[in-house]
Chain A
Amino acid sequence: MSFLDLDHVSHHYFSKNSYTKALNNISMSVKEGEFIALLGPSGCGKSTLLSIMAGIIPNTEGRVLLQGKEIGDSEMGIGYMLQQDYLFPWKTIIDNVLLGPKINQTTSDELKERAVKLLEEVGLKDVSEKYPNELSGGMRQRAALVRTLINDPKILLLDEPFSALDYQTKLKLEDLVSDLLKTYHKTAILVTHDIGEAIAMSDRIFMMDSNPGTIAKTYNVPLELRNEIPFLSRRHPKYQILFDKIWDELEAKEAGKKVVELPNE
């Protein structure tokens, strides 16, 4: 049994006079410690899929199992990061970071110490008592990362967390997140429309197709790239090869043609 299992998951959005099938028959299994990227154009349902994995949206068909338990039943264990930091502007950084424990009524001095330590680890020293609007975009997103990690989640769901940042900050944060996840041996699922980001960060890439959202293709990222930090992985010769392959595939999809299936390495 793997860590996270999606078993024929479908999702519909209903409105008064019509419905849309956002996701169709998605099955996948993710191993513990694995980093998965969901790559696809906007509107392919990748964010919906992530919300379903987080248990925020109940899927209309199929099952989502985390360590063999239905997602709704397995309490905690999920960390969710959004495109923007969504730090609460009326709370200090430390209160923002300790929001999860507050909700679960597990706040303690140890946890507070751990939060301060984690903040330092991501390069945020002496910001505990500051408010989010006193921090830069990159710092805020790092604080949001700590907020996600403080609950010690079993799995991290990342919904384009770097897309609102400038390029330099984005690259640095990629390295930081990748490093933290490896250190703490976390499983992660990253939603992105950035091919480079998917290759640089993940172990496996699921390419999604839209209308309805399905998994069109799976790519295994070569081992050489997986073992590098994202920044260096971007410079590796194999990076460009995989990039071009995915690029061509996406182009072909856009053109409505089907390319000849190449054996996946």
Chain B
Amino acid sequence: MQNFTQAFALAFDLMLSADADLLEIIGLSLRVSLMAMAISTLIGLPIGAAIGMSRFRGRGVSIILLNALMGLPPVVVGLGVYLLLSRAGPMGWMGLLYTPTAMIIAQSILITPIIAALSRQVIEDLHNEYAEQFRSLCVSPRTAIAALLWDARYGLLTVALAGFGRAVAEVGAVIIVGGNIEHLTRVMTTAIALETSKGDLALALALGIVLLSIALLVNAAVMGLRMTATRFSYA
């Protein structure tokens, strides 16, 4: 129990002191995971929307596959990306291993299926609701897509946040492809893993609390944005 009280006090101290090293780690965590979220949304959303709106042979299989890929183990993704980016691997010449770019690539691979699978469901549900209207109004596919994406925007925002949450919380992939190098590739989760391995459980837990607070802030910011947008749309 002592560790818990100690951790909360420490977390509070850490956030108040705004220690430069800590800020650097938080900044990198946000940069890597937000970038991974952006890339995954750019790739996953169109895939999800396409599958959600269309009927084709093998659709059922691709949905099952997509849903299963949501369970990709981060360590496996990390290993795969390591083998690709390693100097001995096919993409080794790019020299990307142990850089933030490698971490962004790994997290993007990890969360693209999540974003694709969830947005597929969101779009499909809405499409079923709108299908009759689209048909009766003879709406072109392009307009239909635009309408669906716009009307599903809040649902899709939550989908993107789910992707961000998964990315910012995972440690298995980034510790392999990033290497947890101080001042270069150390992020919140790898710092937590490091402090745990040093036996400094209170500090590790405190960093976990800080990470949670950041996730809270990001989600609150998105909620704030959404509320502002809603207000404008009614004004």
Q: Do A and B come from the same complex?
A: no
